[in-house]
């Protein structure tokens, strides 16, 4: 049994196809098939049910894949140990970022990070929290940036910053004349929300449920992006809440619609998250250092309060 054979098994389990798995592993399909067959003969079991289309794992195959993933991850740890000993910070690093953080945070830190760590090859993907957790567990992501806490025992979290909520209230709205607002002023029945699958939406819902003005009415409008919510709000269709960093990009006219909360301002916790196996920690620490440094100067609010944990999606 070799680590290479286990790596091939994981590739086939993921792709459910020998040819695709071989392409991902940069070997020929006969080579990959032969190595997996040798492993099955050595163990005297069938890992894959080849009669199914697409290929499926047998019951014992599922258990072997789970263990193989642990073994392959531990083999990567040996390289990590050597890299850390040499002080090397580089190589490929797969990072996931949730949609409500990606467009504002990425431009803030990416250039600085690349300049400071040119040997790191970042592969960045926009994913929901649910997708991120799944890929961290499967080893398809090295780390991610998401709203926390997640309350998942397999995931570790390093808080990067607390990002306040800011109300975006058009002139036609009942709260526009208020210089500052309280959370108790919010009424979910006249708020524009992101569609299901966004953790920021869940944060807004949790915020409103914590106070009396919580309607059971069907939401008036839902959208897939914060930018669309701003445009809908400008049309007088309701108010919305924005993450603070999004407010830095609104134009001068739209800034008139920004209303801050009375302190302590409700906020979301944003963290760098990674699998408990703690692979590539030197790169994770480098990311934390650069991002925390950049965001610390951008967020003027100091007195913030997490009203209730964000649900994870």
* Secondary structure (3-state) at 44: coil
| pLDDT confidence of residue 309 | 41
More confident residue, 203 or 99: 99
pLDDT-derived band at 200 (thresholds 50, 70, 90) equals low
Mind listing the pLDDT tens digit for each residue in 142-198? 999 998 989 899 999 999 998 888 989 988 888 888 888 888 888 777 777 775 545
pLDDT-derived band at 139 (thresholds 50, 70, 90) equals confident
pLDDT-derived band at 312 (thresholds 50, 70, 90) equals very low
Least confident of 16-30, 117-131, 178-192, 267-281: 178-192
pLDDT-derived band at 135 (thresholds 50, 70, 90) equals very high
More confident residue, 297 or 21: 21
- Long-range CB contact pairs, 297-300, < 8 A, 24+: 298/108, 298/245, 298/248, 299/161, 299/162, 299/163, 299/164, 299/244, 299/245
Mind listing the pLDDT tens digit for each residue in 202-232? 555 555 554 444 444 433 444 457 888 888 8
Least confident of 33-42, 76-85, 168-177: 76-85
| 112 and 295 Cβ atoms separated by less than 8 Å | no
| pLDDT confidence of residue 249 | 85
| 212 and 182 Cβ atoms separated by less than 8 Å | no
Q: How far apart are CA 291 and CA 246, in angstroms?
A: 16
pLDDT at 141 over 90: yes
Q: How far apart are CA 57 and CA 59, in angstroms?
A: 6
Strands 304-305 and 193-194, bridge-based pairing: unpaired
| Domains by residue range for the chain, with CATH | 3-84 (1.10.10.10), 90-162+269-301 (3.40.190.10), 163-267 (3.40.190.10)
What average pLDDT does range 75-96 have in this prediction? 84
Q: How far apart are CA 108 and CA 68, in angstroms?
A: 38
Q: Which residues in 136-221 belong to E strands, given as ranges?
A: 143-148, 155-168, 180-181, 193-194
| 159 and 112 Cβ atoms separated by less than 8 Å | no
| 226 and 248 Cβ atoms separated by less than 8 Å | no
The CA radius of gyration of the chain, in Å to the nearest whole number, is: 24
Q: Which of 35, 48, 45 is nearest to 2 (CA)?
A: 35
Strands 56-57 and 258-261, bridge-based pairing: unpaired
pLDDT, averaged across the chain: 84
More confident residue, 228 or 107: 107
């Amino acid at each position: 049994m070799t680590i290479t054979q286990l790596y091939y098994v994981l590739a086939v389990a993921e792709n459910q196809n020998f040819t695709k798995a071989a392409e991902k592993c940069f070997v020929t399909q006969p080579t990959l098939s032969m190595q997996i067959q040798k492993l099955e003969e050595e163990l005297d079991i069938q890992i894959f049910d080849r009669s199914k289309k697409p290929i499926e794992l047998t019951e014992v195959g599922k258990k072997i894949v789970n263990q193989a993933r642990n073994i392959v991850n531990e083999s990567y740890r040996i390289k990590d140990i050597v890299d850390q000993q040499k002080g090397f910070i580089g190589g490929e690093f797969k990072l996931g970022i949730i949609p409500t953080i990606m467009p504002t945070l990425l431009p803030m830190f990416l250039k600085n990070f690349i300049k400071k760590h040119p040997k790191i090859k970042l592969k960045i993907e926009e994913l929901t929290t649910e997708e991120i957790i799944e890929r961290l567990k499967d080893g398809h992501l090295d780390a991610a940036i998401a709203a926390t806490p997640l309350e998942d025992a397999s995931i570790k979290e390093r808080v990067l910053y607390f990002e306040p909520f800011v109300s975006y209230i058009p002139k036609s709205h009942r709260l526009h004349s208020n210089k500052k607002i309280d959370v108790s002023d919010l009424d979910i029945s006249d708020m524009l929300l992101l569609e299901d699958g966004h953790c920021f939406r869940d944060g807004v819902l949790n915020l409103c449920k914590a106070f009396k003005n919580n309607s059971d009415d069907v939401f008036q409008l839902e959208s897939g992006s914060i930018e669309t919510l701003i445009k809908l709000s400008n049309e007088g269709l309701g108010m919305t809440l924005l993450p603070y960093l999004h407010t830095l990009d609104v134009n001068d006219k739209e800034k008139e619609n920004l209303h801050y909360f009375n302190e302590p301002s409700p906020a979301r916790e944003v963290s760098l998250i990674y699998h408990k196996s703690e692979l590539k920690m030197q790169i994770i620490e480098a990311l934390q250092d650069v991002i925390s440094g950049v965001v610390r100067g951008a967020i003027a609010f100091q007195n913030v309060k997490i009203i209730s944990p964000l649900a994870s999606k």
